[in-house]
Amino acid sequence: MNNKRISIIGVPMDLGQRRRGVDMGPSAIRYAGVVERLEKIGYEVHDRGDIEIGRPDKFDVVDEGNLKDLNEVVKANQALSDTITKSIGDGEFPLILGGDHSIAIGTLAGVANKSDNLGVIWYDAHGDLNTGDTSPSGNIHGMPLAVSLGIGHPSLTEIGSYAPKIKPENLVLVGARSLDEGERELIREKGIKVFTMHEIDRMGMTKVMEEAIAHVSKNTDSVHLSLDLDALDPHDAPGVGTPVIGGTSYRETHLAMEMLAERNIITSAEFVEVNPILDDKNQTAEAAVGLIGSLFGEKLL
């Protein structure tokens, strides 16, 4: 990474889904030594603290249109977008720690605001391409990619006061293995590039990442990485809210991060869905810190 100044922004959001504990994810990643790891490899780290997350008056509020805790999710993501915009304006690389994946709505609003043509690598077991109409649960953490494409409730799509944030041709999904029918239809309709676990198994991670990097590097001026720890197999990352067996290994994901570091294309990143309550001795947060180290160029020799 050419930018040696990193701003860490924690988002202790747990309202985008139903399993409590993911709000402690930023603290768990900090406890696992992310600041020290980055400083050791030569970065100047500015920890901007955590975005304040409001609480609904009544838990499990369905505000409207099958969208749970909509008002609080909107407020937090707008605050996150503003913080990221300031961070980039100050010349820093924004590194966002979650929290559930609904925070990507604010992340993409903030980074796209400073980009004319943003590319996105979405490293995740899920598509996160649902809307209130297609979601089986109404959980907004399953909707951030659709929202960022300009599809969904206006209060979500208009965060940052513009939409869409990204174009489908500048997006690639890596590691998908659990897609709802509405997500499959949207992928086909928009022609979104997806590498499922089938492609990773057949082609290998090296070839998948080569093609993914080429895809998001074409006609873009910056590239955001959104990494959900549930992309990893639950054996390597047990502390996540929606584990899906048969994911990428810790080593495969390290390789993916190392390849991104070598190509030096990532201009912002987020690591989400670490839930220490469901974890084993902070294993998932430590995995996140190891992957962050590799993304930022950490080497054995």
User: Does 228 participate in catalysis according to the annotation?
Assistant: yes
Examine residue 70 and state whether it is found in any structural domain, yes or no. yes
Examine residue 266 and state whether it is found in any structural domain, yes or no. yes
Instruction: Look up the domain containing 243 and give its range.
Output: 5-295
> What residue ranges of the chain have pLDDT lower than 70?
1-2, 56-64
Cα–Cα dist 98/274, whole Å: 7
First to last CA, the chain: 18
User: Does 101 participate in catalysis according to the annotation?
Assistant: yes
User: Does 100 participate in catalysis according to the annotation?
Assistant: no
Examine residue 199 and state whether it is found in any structural domain, yes or no. yes
Cα–Cα dist 78/81, whole Å: 5
Tokens 């810190």 belong to: 289
User: Does 128 participate in catalysis according to the annotation?
Assistant: yes
Examine residue 301 and state whether it is found in any structural domain, yes or no. no
> 101 among the known binding-site residues?
yes
Among residues 101, 153, 224, 254, the one annotated as catalytic is 101
Examine residue 125 and state whether it is found in any structural domain, yes or no. yes
| Burial (CB count <10 Å: 0-12, 13-18, 19+), residue 281 | exposed
Q: In a 3-state reduction of DSSP, which class is residue 266? A: strand
Q: Looking at residue 207, which CATH number applies to its domain?
A: 3.40.800.10
Q: Which amino acid is at 269?
A: A
Work out how many domains the chain is built from and give that number: 1
Examine residue 12 and state whether it is found in any structural domain, yes or no. yes
Which residues lie across from 119 on neighbouring strands? 223
Examine residue 189 and state whether it is found in any structural domain, yes or no. yes
- The pLDDT value given to residue 65: 77
164: preceding bond cis by omega (within 30 degrees) = yes
- pTM, to two decimals: 0.96
Cα–Cα dist 269/87, whole Å: 13
Among residues 141, 153, 224, 254, the one annotated as catalytic is 141
pLDDT tens string 25-44 = 999 999 999 999 999 999 99
